[in-house]
């Protein structure tokens, strides 16, 4: 997909540094698969699209490279990387380990405000699914998990997880449109929340473990359907 079609006059907040905003926008497009693996990211084209010099573009691409989301070939080109299956598995292991402890902590306390907030995210996901608004569905999904981190007092770990999540998030984006996948997420989120409200840590952990295993259990099928998008490992 040509860059101008995707980056049509992206708006930047002039009160913030440019490079982080370019990074955030490009990362969003890569993780959502709007910028597909193999897409060439031309610094001059990106600089023109954002109305910037090439310096903040270079800095943003370097950050994306650190997350493994782009491959930089010096003096040649920069491309959106293929999905690294080994990196996806490691990110999944990290997230599962942390969130199992998080739901255990949250199940040990009564927090009606948190319960209402998590339920609101589930309700928004349900409405988004009915409207086929997948971007909104994913945003509400992220908010559900982020709020659990914040309520457990480990918001910083959410940021840590995000730095490693690009590959597994791209797998989830490919898997989401499959029949029944989004509905399964809704059921899983509700099971996790209901168990937390019931202060049943064991049930909450079981529901979370099943929830997070969905996409990873389908890796072989995803690789078969999208061989040009993945790098096995």
Q: What percent of the chain has pLDDT over 70?
A: 95
pLDDT score at 84? 96
Q: Which of 31, 53, 81 is the last residue in one of the domains?
A: 81
* Co-location of 59 and 96 in the same domain: no
b/e per residue 97-113 (b: at least 16 CB within 10 A): ebbbebbbebbeeeeee
- Whose tokens are 């309520």? That residue is 151
* Co-location of 216 and 197 in the same domain: yes
Closest CA to 102 of 218, 219, 215, 211: 211
- Given a cut of 60, is residue 27 above it in pLDDT? yes
Could you tell me if 57 and 22 are in contact, meaning their C-beta atoms sit under 8 angstroms apart?
yes
pLDDT tens by residue, 96-142: 999 999 999 999 998 999 999 999 999 999 999 999 999 999 999 99
Per-residue pLDDT band for 233 (boundaries 50, 70, 90) equals low
pLDDT tens by residue, 155-214: 999 999 999 999 999 999 999 888 899 999 999 999 999 999 999 999 999 999 999 988
The DSSP secondary-structure symbol of 70 reads E
Q: Which of 81, 104, 128 is the last residue in one of the domains?
A: 81
b/e per residue 163-182 (b: at least 16 CB within 10 A): ebbbbbbbbbbbbbeeeeeb
- Given a cut of 90, is residue 2 above it in pLDDT? no
* Co-location of 179 and 100 in the same domain: yes
* Co-location of 61 and 98 in the same domain: no
pLDDT score at 15? 83
Could you tell me if 169 and 34 are in contact, meaning their C-beta atoms sit under 8 angstroms apart?
no
Long-range contacts formed by 61-65: CB under 8 A, 24+ apart: 61/26, 63/19, 63/23, 64/23, 64/26, 64/27, 64/30
Residue 20 CB: number of other CB atoms within 10 A?
Answer: 14
* Co-location of 23 and 64 in the same domain: yes
pLDDT score at 214? 81
Q: What CATH number is given to the structural domain containing 224?
A: 1.20.120.530
Q: What is the mean pLDDT of residues 43-57?
A: 93
Could you tell me if 125 and 183 are in contact, meaning their C-beta atoms sit under 8 angstroms apart?
no
* Co-location of 38 and 130 in the same domain: no
- Given a cut of 60, is residue 4 above it in pLDDT? no
Per the structure, how many domains does the chain have? 2
Q: What is the mean pLDDT of residues 42-50?
A: 92
The structure's pTM equals 0.89
Q: Which of 81, 104, 129 is the last residue in one of the domains?
A: 81
Per-residue pLDDT band for 6 (boundaries 50, 70, 90) equals low
Angle among Cα 12, 17, 20 to the nearest 5 degrees reads: 80
Could you tell me if 231 and 82 are in contact, meaning their C-beta atoms sit under 8 angstroms apart?
yes
* Co-location of 120 and 227 in the same domain: yes
Owning domain of residue 181: 84-231
């Amino acid at each position: 997909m040509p860059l101008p079609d995707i980056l049509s006059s992206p708006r930047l907040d002039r009160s913030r540094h440019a490079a982080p905003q370019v990074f955030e926008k490009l990362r969003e497009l890569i993780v959502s698969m709007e910028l597909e693996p193999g897409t060439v990211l031309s610094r001059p084209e990106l600089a023109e699209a954002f109305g910037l010099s090439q310096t903040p573009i270079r800095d943003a691409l370097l950050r994306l490279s650190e997350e493994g989301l782009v491959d930089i070939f010096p003096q040649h080109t920069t491309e959106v990387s293929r999905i690294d299956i080994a990196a996806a598995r490691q990110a999944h292991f990290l997230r599962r380990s942390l969130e199992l402890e998080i739901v255990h902590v949250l199940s040990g306390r009564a927090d009606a405000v948190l319960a209402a907030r998590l339920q609101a995210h589930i309700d928004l996901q349900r409405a988004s699914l009915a409207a086929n608004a997948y971007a909104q569905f994913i945003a509400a999904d992220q908010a559900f998990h982020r709020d659990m981190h914040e309520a457990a007092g480990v918001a910083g770990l959410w940021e840590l997880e995000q730095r490693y999540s690009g590959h597994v998030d791209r797998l989830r984006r490919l898997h989401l449109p499959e029949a029944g996948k989004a509905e399964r997420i809704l059921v899983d989120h509700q099971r996790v929340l209901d168990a937390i409200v019931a202060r049943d840590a064991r049930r909450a952990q079981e529901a979370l473990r099943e929830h997070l295993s969905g996409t990873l259990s389908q890796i072989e099928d995803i690789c078969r359907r999208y061989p040009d998008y993945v790098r096995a490992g």
